[in-house]
A and B are shown apart, each in its own frame.
Chain A
Amino acid sequence: MTGRWERPAGTEVVYERPEALTDAVTHYCPGCTHGIAHRLVAEVIDELGVRERTVAIASVGCSVLAYNYFAVDAQQAAHGRAPAVATGIKRVRPDCVVFTYQGDGDLAAIGTAEIIHAAMRGEKITVIFINNAIFGMTGGQMAPTTLVGQTTTTTPGGRLPERIGYPIRICEMLAQLDGAAYVARQALSSPQNIARAKRSIRKAFEAQLGGHGLGIVELLSTCNVNWKMNPVDALKWLEANMIPVFPLGEFKDWSKAGEMAATFGGLGEVAG
């Protein structure tokens, strides 16, 4: 908070736009939680003081223009490939703070190999995973995380498990990989959840800064336009329908002892 704006005499700043966000007004729909996620990442970058050595990787989805919104160096990656692009950058510029920002199509459909293997290798990168259970940018098709019974343009009668299976839970899968240092799922549905989300995002960056491994935060988000509801109702729908399927919490945390530190703790020792 640098006081780029005038504030009333005798006051202190409670909230101002983070430096790591540009002034650009985003193209996101009114009420889209992408804006909240961007803000939280930018706040964490500011608090950690790493803006000038951060490189963002924008993926393909509604957030494809993220490089216009984060005031940091950025590379735009092909659909799903952001963790691979991040790997290339971090390996040659280890002092840079490298993060990807990906949606549920990018990370959980076309990019599953890349995220799993970046986690397997323990790449010191941070992954922000926006899960809104739908493909937003392309007009509302099914995502791997679409809920059973949820109507999308490619599941017009609702997602039928016998035809197209069940939603995929990425965090639970990735937590099994020893190279994943921090794995958490939070929701952007209320100020309390947003505060928890910000703490998780910070830990995911700290996993990188401490050289512990890959940090990923899955952020349950809304797509009120493709869900066909208003923004306030969309947050309620998220809480009622998505959280039961995608439980919130930390699945892996290198800084905690015991089971949380390594889901299959000590697997590497077996071979030794």
Chain B
Amino acid sequence: MKGYVFFEEDRCKGCQLCIPVCTKGVIRLSNRINVRGYHPAEAANPEECTGCGLCARMCPDTVIRVYRQIPARAGSGKG
């Protein structure tokens, strides 16, 4: 399953709660400093993301948006 994860960096406080919950090691703390003075989290390996959403469910600041490929449904009649 292909997932897509987006970080709204200026909301991030660099708390790192998202990092250990990602089983694919997608997330790391960046070296940048955001407008709030924190190192925001970023997707270091976005290609590994499966769209499980655990990072977003851990984040206290709704920094993270998660999407995933719409699964193909056999015999659905849709393209």
A residues at B contact (CB < 8 Å): 5, 7-8, 10-18, 21, 25-26, 28-36, 38-39, 190-191, 194-195, 230-232, 235
Cβ contact within 8 Å between A11 and B58: no
Partner of B16 from A5, A34, A232 at Cβ < 8 Å: A232
Contact size range, B: 20 to 34
Contact residues in A for B4 (Cβ distance below 8 Å)? 7-8, 11
Question: Is there contact, CB below 8 Å, between B60 and A39?
Answer: yes
Number of A-B pairs, beta carbon distance below 8 Å: 89
Cβ-defined contact, B62 with A11, below 8 A: no
Interchain Cβ contacts under 8 Å between A and B, 17 examples = A11-B68, A12-B67, A12-B70, A13-B67, A14-B51, A14-B52, A15-B53, A17-B65, A21-B62, A25-B36, A25-B61, A26-B61, A35-B61, A190-B21, A194-B57, A231-B16, A232-B19
Q: Which of A10, A15, A231 contacts B15 (CB under 8 A)?
A: A231
Interface residue ranges, B against A (CB under 8 Å) = 3-4, 6, 10-11, 13-17, 19-21, 36, 38, 51-54, 56-62, 64-70
Q: B58 touching A194 by the CB < 8 A rule?
A: yes
* Whole-angstrom CA separation of A25 from B63 in the bound complex: 9
Q: How far in angstroms is the closest Cβ of chain B from A103?
A: 16
Give 4 closest A-B pairs by Cβ, nearest first.
Answer: A35-B60, A31-B15, A30-B13, A15-B56
